[in-house]
């Protein structure tokens, strides 16, 4: 409660909501897409040799592969960018989907195929709506 975004365009809000929805089953966070997080050495140690530091969302990677039991969200109000450019691109969306697939296979080895298929269909539908 208390966080949000300033004046994002509708397509940006839809993509963000879709990406968040796809990540929720993997984490205990209300905002698993956040790039702002902190943790302990003990939590990181549980993911030794399993964390992919190249991942698009390292916080989500840590929550999943290090088996975080407790997540405390702190609301952040995101403002419009005043400098630089967004990294959001088709390539980044694809890399995020690949990271999600890897995390789902890690967390839910038996049901991952069906969950992944459903998630990809939902994301494709959202992207199709945004692009049209």
> How far is Cα 125 from Cα 22, in angstroms, rounded to an integer?
13
pLDDT at residue number 112 = 66
Q: Is 99 left (phi over 0), alpha (psi -120 to 50) or beta?
A: alpha
pLDDT at residue number 33 = 78
The pair of three-digit structure tokens given for residue 73, joined into one six-digit string: 């969200």
| pTM score over 0.75 | no
Q: Are 13 and 5 in contact (CB under 8 A)?
A: yes
pLDDT at residue number 132 = 67
pLDDT tens for the chain, 132 residues long, are 567 777 777 887 888 888 888 888 888 788 887 777 888 899 899 988 888 867 668 889 989 999 888 888 887 777 777 787 777 777 888 888 888 888 888 888 876 677 667 777 887 888 877 776
Q: Are 77 and 31 in contact (CB under 8 A)?
A: no
> CA 71, 63, 80, 6: dihedral to nearest 10 degrees?
-40
Picking from 74, 76, 52, 77, the residue whose alpha carbon sits closest to that of residue 62 is 52
pLDDT at residue number 41 = 92
């Amino acid at each position: 409660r208390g966080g949000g975004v300033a004046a994002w365009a509708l397509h940006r809000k839809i993509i963000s909501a879709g990406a968040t929805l796809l990540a929720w089953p993997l984490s205990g966070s209300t905002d698993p897409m956040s790039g702002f997080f902190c943790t302990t050495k003990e939590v990181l140690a549980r993911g030794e040799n399993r964390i992919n530091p190249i991942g698009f969302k390292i916080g989500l990677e840590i929550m999943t592969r290090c088996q975080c039991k407790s997540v405390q969200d702190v609301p952040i109000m995101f403002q419009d960018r005043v400098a630089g450019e967004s990294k959001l691109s088709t390539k980044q969306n694809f890399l995020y989907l690949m990271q999600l697939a890897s995390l789902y296979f890690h967390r839910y080895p038996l049901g991952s195929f069906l969950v992944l298929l459903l998630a990809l269909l939902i994301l494709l539908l959202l992207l199709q709506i945004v692009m049209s």
